Structure formats: structure tokens, C-alpha cells
Amino acid sequence: MHTNDNQLAEALRAFLPAAASYTLHAGPSGMNNTTRLAEADGERYVLRVYETHRDASRVEFELDVLKSLSGLALPFHTPVPVAARSGEPWALTGDGKIAVLFRYIEGERPSLRSRSGPFSFGQTTAWLTQALEKTVAAAPPAYPPYYELDQASSAYSLGEALRFCAEPPELFTTETEALQSIGAWLANYRRQLPQLKTLPHQLIHGDLNHTNMLGRADGTITAVLDFEFVTVDLRAMEAAVALSDLINGEPKDDALWPAVESFVRGYAGVSKLSRAEAEALPLLIQLRRVDVFLHFLYRYWDGIDGADTVIRQIRSAGASLAWFVRHGTRLENTLKPLSADSS
């Protein structure tokens, strides 16, 4: 159950002076948290309540990384947490969920189909990768790397997900073809995993997409938000997650390829990946799509989401994998300028 308005107001008061007057407004919330825009004594804030876990170590790690980033001169904004009156970096709602308050950052969600949006997205991804390479968190990360699919859930195994793909329950038999393609991809991926693990590692944001950024009307990105899933992972995974946001489902080719090419120019103008990393990107982009499916499958088994949500994710992952069969070679060639070996 998502946090109600009374609990949100109680959590907000834990951060404000006792006599402060305030207002709360609905804001764009993700699948994993509830967000409200708050105003108090002429200042604006964003209140977030974590809905899917009560693990303080995860939030502590996120805030530790944000504190480190705040000391760097970045060409974009990152969230600035506000401490609670108790001195703690978070507060608890009446039902025990963790709430964090951030200072409000001006901006709108950027369009990745605008002329400058994908280029700015590529630049921002590279800048953030460079910044996180310099960032050292005091605590160990709470989330495993993307490639460790066997560790993606503490309650369910990848074997159970593979059985679901091979023998879908009656509610999902209409998606048999897509599930078979996901299962086949997972089997092939496992064979390539040892080589992936040899690639460079560092901190990554882990969920870099247009819903977690702010920008200007022309598409230029001015802020990166929501570091909830920050962890140590493959350096190239940051670019893969970002590219996955451009290559989502079955995009129209006339809009897709200019966007990907623009992203690549933006990224390569700031930084380069090794040849092995650049060659691994198509596989890592597919990993992101399949990981999202697994995330929502596990949420369904936990009773958080319904079967309709899982079906949407099955179709999305299946369409994405089918797209790679048709366009993978062109994508590989388009991504070559990201390699340090390219001219």
C-alpha cells in the first residue's frame, strides 16, 4: 500500500522547523517510491518515500554518493538532501517507511526526440560516468551489478524465472513466444557472463533515463535525479542503460537512428570506452531490458504488481530482443565511435 497523505505530511514535518507552515502537492512518482512537491516558508522541496523496501543501508549509500558528488564541479545538478530535525538524513513515516527530503531543482523532463536532447543525453552520461569514477562511498553498495542476475532477488532465483519462461502459467500463455525468446536469451547470456566480468568496474547511477533527468525546452539536460539504484557495476553499463532508453520496444527507424548517432557523438566528445566495452554494449543494452522484465516479474510474485504489468514487460522485452535480431549489426556499427580505438 502506498503512503497516504497524512503519513506524507507527518514525514515532511520531521524535516521542517516545528512552527513552519507548508503545502504538499502531487508530483511524478516512480514504481518504487511516492513523491510529493513541498513548499515551506518560501522554499521548495521534493519529499520521497521508499515504497518497496525499508533498508536504511540502501538509502545511506545513495545519500553518501550524493554528498560526494556535491563536492564536484559538474555541468548539471544532482539532488541535495536536507537533514531531518533529529540530525538524521531521513525520517520514518507512521508505518515505518523511509522518507528523504531534497531541495527542489527547476526543470522539466527532457525530450530525447528533440534536436539536441540525445546529444546532451550522451554528454551527460559521459560526464556522470567520469564523476562517479572519482566518487568513493564509505559504505559498500546495497545492490549487485546488473550482470549478476542470480542476485537480482533475495527471494527468487533465476532458475525460477527460467521455468516461468519455459512453462508460463495460464495467465501468461498468450505471451509464450516472447517468453521463449527471453529464456533463450538468458541461456546464451550465461555463457558470455565470464567475459563480461573482466570489463572495467566503477560506481554507476544504474537507472539513467529521461524520467530521471531534468532539462530545458531545447532538450539540454540540466539535472540528473534518483540515485536510488547507484552501485558498483560495469563502467559501460551506464551508457547501456541510457541507450536502452532510446531503443525501447519497437521504435520507428527514422527517429531512432539519428537519436542514437547523436547520443554517440555527445558521449564520444567527452569520453571513450575501451574496444571491449564498446563491443559489449549491444549485449548490455539487452541485459537492461531483460533485467527490467525480471524486476517486475519478482514484484508480481511479491504481490506488488498485477499480471497486466508483467505482460507489458514481457512484450516490451520480447519486442526489444526481436529488434536486436533485425538491427543488431547496424547498431554495432553505429556504436563503434564510442571505442577508444576508433579514429
pLDDT in tens, 277-327: 999 999 999 999 999 999 999 999 999 899 999 999 999 999 999 999 999
For the record, the C-alpha cell of 190 comes out as: 550465461
Supply the mean pLDDT for the chain: 92
Selected residue with higher pLDDT from 1 and 63: 63
Domain 2-103 in this protein, CATH class: alpha beta
| Predicted structure pTM score | 0.93
Distance CA 318, CA 178 (A): 5
Section 8-37 average pLDDT: 86
Give just the sign of the alpha carbon dihedral 293, 273, 128, 250. negative
If pLDDT is split at 50, 70 and 90, which confidence band does 249 have?
Answer: very low
**Cβ contacts of residue 294 below 8 Å, gap of 6+?**
149, 152, 153, 158, 161
CATH fold, domain 116-338, is: Aminoglycoside 3'-phosphotransferase; Chain: A, domain 2 (3.90.1200)
Q: Looking at the chain, which residues constitute the CATH 3.90.1200.10 domain(s)? A: 116-338
Indicate whether 29 pLDDT > 70. Answer: no
How confident is the model at residue 112, as a pLDDT? Answer: 82
Indicate whether 250 pLDDT > 50. Answer: no
Give tens-digit pLDDT for 133-147. Answer: 999 887 889 899 999
Q: Residue 19 gets which letter from DSSP? A: T
HSE of 203, CA atoms in CB hemisphere, 13 A: 27
How confident is the model at residue 20, as a pLDDT? Answer: 84
How confident is the model at residue 115, as a pLDDT? Answer: 80
